[in-house]
Amino acid sequence: MKFRAKIVDAACLNHFTRVSNMIAKLAKTCTLRISPEKLNFILCDRLVGGGVSMWCELEQENFFSEFQMEGVSAENNAIYLELTSENLSRALKTAQNARTLKIKLTNKHFPCLTVSVELLSMSTSSRIVTHDIPLKVIPRKLWKDFQQPSVPDADVSIYLPVLKTLKSVVEKMKNISNHLVIEANLNGELNLKIETDLVCVTTHFKDLGNPPLASDDASRDRDPAEMAEVHVDIRKLLQFLAGQQVNPTRALCNLVSSRMVHLDLLHEDVCLQYFIPALS
């Protein structure tokens, strides 16, 4: 197994750092999948995440000026690694003013991802910072747990409001109760509801817009005003929102009534999918 990659462009480096920071907020431990075309950050552990799954994908050629990998074997040309997300984001934090960033898979007593940064400095000698991030290699037989989740047929698909607004609303609601009801319809209306014995709070978002319907009969027959509803743990939604530091290029919410909330975000060229199951 081999992997080495290099970033020389400052904008690419910043973008990669932002992605890494986002992942660190969404999942404490995650799986990094390296394949010839893509890098994926995956969280598919149903028990640990409380049922939450995450799939983040980026095209390697949008970031790296050099990218070489050799998977486990020719037929299985991929590498699956498990690491603590925060270690990567902290290592990248030091690369703010870097001339180049190199990442490679190494084995120093145990498998590591070595992040090596050449910093710009005033004098002639440049400073080199190296981080060895310990990780675990995931064996081939477990790879099936980390496949791309199938996108479910949603009852309602709606564009999300500005995430910062959504986050401040959800943060306040969390103080009242952990049980959140998300409902939306095809008229661009989204409601967040919290209910206790004493109080019931609803926040209404209007004119959000819905993506064009697929040529799927079930969706076309649906009454636009009819709300699809999912009950979720508010903390899971809040954790997702906390990870979004920057406003995405596109943010979609797909509701499968009483089953799950599927959040589909696009940050420039990085796609993030987050699945929150309904409360049983």
Partner 1 sequence: MLKCGMSGTQVKVFGKAIQALSRVSDELWLDPSEKGLALRSLNSSSSACGYVLFSSVFFEHYQWSASKEMNDDGRSLYLNCKLGMKSILPIFRCVNSFERYVEKCKIFTTSDKCKVVIQFFCRHGIKKTHNVCFQESSPLQVNFEKKMCCNTLMIQPRLLAEAMVLFSSNEDVTLAVSPLNLCLKSAHGELADLTNSVYSEMLVGPDEFDFFQVGLDTEITFCCKELKGMLIFSEAVHVPMSIHFDFPGKPVALSIVDMLLEANFILATLAGNSSRSCSPQSLCLSQAGKRSDWRQLNSKAGQRGMHKPPECISRKTTPKRLCPQGTPVKNSAAEDHGSPQLKKANLDNIHEVPRSSVGDTEEEPNSFSRRKFSSMFFGAVSSDQQEHLNQPFASLAMASDSEDD
Identify the sign of the CA torsion 39, 243, 258, 47: positive
Structure tokens at 28: 């404490």
**CB burial of residue 161 (10 Å; 0-12, 13-18, 19+):** middle
Distance, CA of 167 to CA of 173 (rounded, Å): 10
Q: Of 68, 110, 235, 250, which one interacts with partner 1 (CB under 8 A)? A: 110
Which residues, 122 to 181, sit near partner 1 by CB under 8 A?
A: 122-134
Count of chain residues binding partner 1 (CB under 8 A):
25
**3-state class (DSSP) for residue 99:** strand
Minimum Å distance from CB 69 to partner 1? 22
List CB contacts of 49: < 8 A, sequence separation 6 or more: 27, 43
Minimum Å distance from CB 242 to partner 1? 21
Closer by beta carbon to partner 1, 134 or else 224: 134
Contact 252, 160 (CB under 8 A): yes
Q: Of 90, 99, 174, 231, which one interacts with partner 1 (CB under 8 A)? A: 90
Minimum Å distance from CB 229 to partner 1? 42
Residue 28 sits in the site that holds partner 1 (CB under 8 A): no
Distance, CA of 131 to CA of 113 (rounded, Å): 8
Q: Of 62, 121, 147, 249, which one interacts with partner 1 (CB under 8 A)? A: 121
Q: Which stretch binds partner 1 (CB under 8 A): 107-115, 193-201, 206-214, 216-224?
A: 107-115
Residue 280 sits in the site that holds partner 1 (CB under 8 A): no
Q: Tokens 């028990």 correspond to what residue?
A: 47
Minimum Å distance from CB 173 to partner 1? 34
**Can you spell out the DSSP letters for 149-196?**
PPPP--SEEEE---HHHHHHHHHHHHTT-SEEEEEE-TTS-EEEEEE-
Which residues, 56 to 85, sit near partner 1 by CB under 8 A?
A: 84
Q: Of 91, 190, 252, 278, which one interacts with partner 1 (CB under 8 A)? A: 91
Interface contacts to partner 1, rule CB under 8 A: 84, 87, 90-91, 93-94, 108-110, 112, 119, 121-134
